[in-house]
Amino acid sequence: MATRDVSITYQARWIFPVSGPPIPNGLLRIVGDRIDSVAPEGTMPVDVNLGNVAVVPGFVNAHTHLDLSHLRGQITPSDEFTQWLRQVIASRRQMDPEAIEAIIRAGLTEALDAGTTLIGDICGSATSWNVLSNAPCWAVAYREVLGLTEERMEQSLVLLHRWLHDHPNTETCRSGISPHAPYSVRVGLFEAIADLARKWQFPVQCHVAESMEELILLAHQRGPFVEFLEELGVWDPDGLLRDHIALFDCFDGVESFGAVHANYLGLTAHLAQRPNSTRIYCPRTHAAFGFSQYPLAEANRPGMRFALGTDSLASNPDLDIFAEACFIHHRYPTISGATILRMLTLHGAETLGFADRTGSLSPGKSADCVLLPLPDSDADDPHALLFAAGARPCEERGILWRGQWRREIAPR
């Protein structure tokens, strides 16, 4: 086990720095809790030969809802998006407040056991912060904010200011803000959140263009969302954004803006000009709802940044973020393995504001790694071997965070 001021050099069949090309039989030197160097075979003495494994940066789950971790298999996604929302809301209202912490801990444990070392969680209460700030991972706790009516907007702003004041950043956990979605947040509330985020450098995430019904609502102020919002007693067409471009305009200048889902965004050129914006794609949740083909080909365009999330267990089978990357590898053969690996690691770290600490195997960064057992076969592109490891159980993955083994595996 690596400890502070102790130097250990590992060798593995493949090392994937992400900040550079894969290194066959590469070397990774860790000093204390930091990466000291990544180098080719033969350039320094080896302390531990890990054998037939890939060493990759710790995984980044850029978007999840840990407080819904009790809903696995209980709510079925369907093509009626507002009906699914009704079920989620009903479940939240029935939750025992005393059970929330256990639910969040169970979800976090599942995510970490899969190799996540940095997570972005949407928080409805202080409970998530309490769990995340004491967990063995980097984290951003995004305080969720709703309010389409003027009255609800004012109430939400008071609660948000109080929450941010009561939860200052720690060494491993920082606060973020999540205005929920264009159908649930008033224009003035978006503007107030953007001002806060610019002033205090809070990262922001928002569910954007998740369904076609949302586009219909913004364009024509009709469709299933009108009835849904009327049922909740919060329908106010005067509070709606005019379109999604206005949303991105609003958040120009913030440190980081994550457009979650963005299934029907259609703003490639517009987004490419905004270096602070990231699309956060939740592949298996997208597939579960039967949405139209995701515009992932745009990930190959210059200036576009995509990160990955699992979303929640109300729509996803598990919280294994590596399974999301493997899903893309099999479903989208035109997306390179190197691009998918960046989505799984560095791009997520960038949108969560942790790229100076993690997301790649670079000297000076935290020693956060996942070890993936590889097949005995060869491939022209070593990334193909990497994603073949997705078929193996999570328990076979080695996980290192800040130079400490969360799960150590025997050399192969």
Q: Which residue has the higher pLDDT, 216 or 3?
A: 216
pLDDT (tens digit per residue) in 277-289: 999 999 999 999 9
**For a pLDDT cut of 90, what percent of the chain falls above it?**
84
The DSSP result for 182-229, as a single string, is TTTB-HHHHHHHHHHHHHHT--EEEEES-SHHHHHHHHHS-SHHHHHH
Strand intervals (E) in 263-356: 277-281, 306-308
pLDDT tops 50 at residue 3 = no
The DSSP result for 234-248, as a single string, is ---GGGS-S-HHHHH
Range 264-268 average pLDDT: 69
Q: Domains of the chain (ranges plus CATH)?
A: 7-58+360-407 (2.30.40.10), 59-352 (3.20.20.140)
Band (pLDDT 50/70/90 cuts) for residue 188 is very high
Q: Which DSSP helix (H) or strand (E) runs through 118?
A: strand 116-123
The answer to whether 212 and 262 have CB atoms below 8 angstroms apart is no
Range 126-136 average pLDDT: 93
pLDDT tops 50 at residue 2 = no
> Exposed, middle or buried: residue 113 (CB in 10 Å: 0-12, 13-18, 19+)?
middle
> Which structure tokens are listed for 265?
């965004």
- Round to whole Å and give the CA distance between 99 and 88: 16
**For a pLDDT cut of 70, what percent of the chain falls above it?**
97
Residue 184: how many other CB atoms lie within 10 Å = 23
Give residue 273's pLDDT. Answer: 58
Q: Enter the pTM of the model.
A: 0.96
pLDDT (tens digit per residue) in 13-49: 999 999 999 999 999 999 999 999 999 999 999 999 9
Which range among 163-167, 300-304, 320-324 shows the weakest confidence by mean pLDDT?
300-304
Band (pLDDT 50/70/90 cuts) for residue 356 is very high
What average pLDDT does the chain have? 93
